[in-house]
Amino acid sequence: MQTHDIRQRFLSHFERAGHTVVPSASLLLDDPNLLFVNAGMVPFKPYFLGEASAPYPRATSIQKCVRTGDIDEVGKTSRHNTFFQMAGNFSFGDYFKETAIKEAWSLLTTSQADGGFGFDPDRLWATVYHDDDETETLWREIAGLPEERIQRRGMADNYWSMTVPGPCGPCSEIYYDRGPEHGREGGPIVDEDRFLEIWNLVFMQNIRGEGPAKEGYPILGELPAKNIDTGLGIERVAYLLQGVDNVYETDLVRPVIAKAEELSGRRYGADETADVRFRVIADHARSGVMLIADGVTPGNEARGYVLRRLLRRIVRSARLLGVKEPVLGEFTSVVRDVMSPAYPELTTDYERIESVMRTEENAFLATLTSGSKIFDLAATATRDSGAVVLPGDKAFQLHDTYGFPIDLTLEMAAEQGLSVDEEGFRSLMAEQRARAKSAAASRRTGHGDKSVYRDLLDQGATEFVGYERLESESVVRGLVAEGARVRSAGEGDIVEVVLDRTPLYAESGGQESDAGSILGDSVRAEVLDVQKVSRKLWVHQVRVLEGELAEGSAVLAKVDPEWRIGARQGHSGTHVVHAALREVLGPSALQSGSYNKPGYLRLDFAWPGGLSAETRSEIEEVSNLAVRRDLGVSVLHTSMAGARELGALALFGETYDETVRVVEIGGAWSRELCGGTHVEHSSQIGPITLLGESSIGSGVRRIEAYVGIEAFRYLATERALVQNIAAMLKVPDQEVPARVESLVERLRLAEKELERVRAAALLSSAGGLADSAADVDGLAVVAAALPAGVSGGDLRTLALDVRGRLGERPGVVALFSADEAAGKVSFLVTLNTAARERGLAAGKLVPSFAPAIAARGGGKPDMAQGGGTNPAGVSEAIAALHRELAAVPASR
C-alpha cells in the first residue's frame, strides 16, 4: 500500500465518522516552547487549553512534523525520522476513550478491500497507564485483547505531554508485533524494535507545570473539557504495510537512497556502516526540503541551526560514501517528485528551495576547505610533539568554528595515522549544550495562560473595521489587568481592553500595531499596543489618561490618522520592494520575513550573497518607477487554493484562515497574501530610498528603506551633508567624490611615508639596544620597553636585528610594546643558537613574566610572541625575566 493511499484511507475513515478534515499547518507556528511543530495536536492547542472554542467538535489531519531530539539515532534504528507525517483524530470535549479506541481498532483491522489497513488483530498489542483500569477494560471489551497483550507502564512511557507546560494526560499506545526474527518475546516493555509503536491515543484531561520532560512534573489541574488527541505515524504504518525492514525503505524515502547509490556507485544493503549513511541522507533530505519549503533558512541559531546541521550531515554522509561533487540539488529534486502529490508547494516553490540547498552546500564546501587547513596544522603540531592523539579542543574547534562533524574529523585523523580525544571533545560539547540549554530555559516562557480571554472569545471575534474607517463606536467587552479580569480602570492604570469592534490594526504580518486613542464620557485613554489572541480577539493595551474606563461602557475608538498614513506607506512599500527584488534578482528572491512601521520598512529574503551597488540602485529604481506609474492597489478574498492558483505569495510562518485576503499592486506584478493596511494607489507610497543591504545569516539578506516623508527627510539630510562637505572642500557638489578620492589617496601616501620613516627610526635603535645588553651569568640579555604602537612585524624585525648584533654570545632578546590607552601590551622573545644550546627555549621563558602583564602566548624554542592586557606591568615583566635567567645554571 502506497503512502499516499495510507494518508487518504486515514482521512476518509475519520471523515465518515463525522470529523472535519483540517489541512496540515506549517512546521513553524508562533509557540515559545517549540522550534517546529512536533506533534499533530500542536495547531489545536488553543482549543485543548480552552483559550478558544473549537470551530468543530471533532477533527482529523495529517500534520507534517519535525523532531530532532533523536537526530543521532537516525539511520541506526528502524523507526527514527526527523521529518514525519502524523495522522491524528481529535475530539474537543465531544467523545472520549471508548470512541477513540473503537475507531482506532476499526481502521487498523478492517480489511484493505473495505478501506482499512488490514492488520492482523493477533499481532496488535496495547499499553496503558499504570493505574488506568478503565482503558484496559475497554481494550478487552472492544478489541478482545487478552490480558497478556495489554501492558501497563509508568509516566515516562504512558503519560503524554509536550515535555513543556501545557496539555497532558494518560495515553494508550498500540504496537505491532513484527515477529520473532526482529527481537525478543515479551511485548513492548521488552523490545520496542520487534514491537513497533504505530498509534498513540492520548486521553487529554490535565495541564502540567514546569519540571522534568518525561516524568516527575506537577499536574496543575484539569482542562476545561476531556479531549482526545491521537497520533499515528504514517511512515511506520507504511513500512509495515509495504513489507520493508524500516522507515527508510518506504516508497517516499527509498528513492533518495537510490539517488545516493547512483551518485556514489555503492550499493545499499552491502555494508551496515554505509547503510547508516544512506539512511541519514534519505531522512535529512526530506526534512531539509520540508523545512525550507516552510520558510526556514540555514543559520547559526534556533531553527536555522537545526536546518544547517541536517544539510551538513547529508553532505558529510555523501563524502563518506565517496561522493565529492555537490549533492543537495540532486536530492532536492527526488524529494520534490515523491512528496509533491501531498505537498504541491514543493513543485511551485522548487526553484527557491533548490537555491537555498545549493547555497548552503557551497558554503559548507568552502568551510571544509578552510577547516581542512586548520586540521592539517593541528595534525602536524600533534605529530611534531610526538603525540598520536589529536586534542579534544582541536576537534571541538573544528566542529564549533568550521562545522566539521566529529565523524569527519575522525576520518581525516585516521588518514594521517592519528586518533582523536573523543572524550575531551564530547566533554566540551556537553558544556556547550549545557550553556545552550540554560540560555533556552531562561528564554522559555511556558504556555501563557490565556484562559482569561475564554469568555470574551465565546462572545465572538472582534470586528475589525480599520480597512474602511479610522474610528468606530464600540463597546468595552472586557478589561484585563495583570492576567485577571477587572471591572474598571482609573487614571494612570495600564490595562488590556477588548472591544466588540475596532479600527485599530493589531500587530501582525510584520506591520506594527496602530497608535490611537479610546474616548468616552469623561474618559480618555492612549492606545500603546494592539495584539491578537487566538487570531480572533483584538486586545488593546492602553494607559488611562483621565477618567474611569469601565466594562460595558460605550466608547469611540480612533486611529491616529498620521500614523495610519505612514503605516500604509510602509506596508505597501514593503510589497513594492519585494516585487522589485524578484524582478531584478529573479523569482527565487523570496521574502522570508519583514517589519514595517510608519516611514520605514525592513525585508529579509533568501539570496546567496551580497548585492552590488549597481543592483541596489536598480532595485531602488524599479521600486520608484512602480510608485510613479500610480499602480492600482486592490484587495480580493478567496480560498487558499484559489490564492495559490493566482500565484499569490504567502509570508512564511504565518497561519491563514480558509478564506484569505490577497493584496495586488499592479495586478500580478505584486500579489501577496496579506492582512495589512495599504494605500489605494502606489503613488501614495511616496519616494522609496534604500538605506542598505546586509547579511543576517548564511543565505539570507536584509534590505532596509525609508518611504514617504521619512524618505524626503533622509534625502534632505544627505543633501545637506554633501553641501557641507562641498563647502569645506570649496568645490561644486558634483565634484565632491573626486576631491574626496584625491584626499584619501594623498592621505594614504602620507601614512605610507610616515610608516617608512617610523620603521627606519625604530630599526636604527637596534645598535643601541644591542650595546645595552646586560650580562646575566654569561647571557647577553636585552629586555626593553618600546614606544606604543609598534606593530607585530616591526617588533619581530627589530628583535631579530638586535639578536644578530649580539654575535656569538648566548643571547636573549625580549621586547615589549605597551599601549596604555588601549590597555594592551605586545611582546616578543627570541634566542640565538648559543642560548638554545644552553638549554633555553623562548616559549618556556614566557610563563616567568606573563602574569605581570596578564599575557597569553607561546611559540617555538627560538621565538615566542603574544600579548597581554596590563601595560603597567611591563617593568615587572622585565625584572621577572631577569630573575628567571639569573636562576638558570651556566650549563643546563
DSSP 8-state class, residue 609: S
Sort strands 58-66 and 20-21 into parallel, antiparallel or unpaired. Answer: parallel
- By the 8 A CB rule, do 82 and 284 touch? yes
What is the rounded distance in angstroms from the CA atom of residue 433 to the CA atom of residue 441?
Answer: 12
Query: Side chain identity at 683, as an amino acid letter?
Result: S
What percent helix, strand, coil does the chain show, rounded to 5?
A: 45, 25, 30
Strand order in 688-697's β-sheet?
A: 591-597, 600-606, 700-707, 688-697
Beta-carbon contacts of 170 under 8 Å, excluding residues fewer than 6 positions away, are: 128, 129, 132, 135, 158, 159, 160, 202, 203, 205
DSSP 8-state class, residue 746: H
What is the rounded distance in angstroms from the CA atom of residue 679 to the CA atom of residue 509?
Answer: 16
Beta-carbon contacts of 432 under 8 Å, excluding residues fewer than 6 positions away, are: 400
- By the 8 A CB rule, do 589 and 606 touch? yes
Beta-carbon contacts of 581 under 8 Å, excluding residues fewer than 6 positions away, are: 589, 591, 603, 605, 619, 703
For the chain, the C-alpha Rg in angstroms (whole number) is: 35
Q: What's the Cα-to-Cα distance from 601 to each of 571, 607, 664, rounded to whole Å?
A: 7, 18, 18
What is the rounded distance in angstroms from the CA atom of residue 495 to the CA atom of residue 476?
Answer: 12
Taking Cα atoms as reference points, which of 537, 532, 530 lies closest to residue 454? 537
For residue 675, give the C-alpha cell.
492582512
Binding annotation for Zn(2+):
571, 575, 674, 678
Sort strands 195-208 and 166-177 into parallel, antiparallel or unpaired. Answer: antiparallel
Sort strands 855-859 and 824-831 into parallel, antiparallel or unpaired. Answer: unpaired
What is the rounded distance in angstroms from the CA atom of residue 849 to the CA atom of residue 830?
Answer: 14
What are the beta bridge partners of residue 499?
476
Label residues 789-816 b or e (16+ Cβ within 10 Å = b). ebeeebbebbbbbbbebbeeebbbbbbb
What is the rounded distance in angstroms from the CA atom of residue 516 to the CA atom of residue 501?
Answer: 14
- By the 8 A CB rule, do 651 and 591 touch? yes
Binding annotation:
571, 575, 674, 678
For residue 545, give the C-alpha cell.
489618561
What is the rounded distance in angstroms from the CA atom of residue 27 to the CA atom of residue 38?
Answer: 8
What is the rounded distance in angstroms from the CA atom of residue 516 to the CA atom of residue 524?
Answer: 11
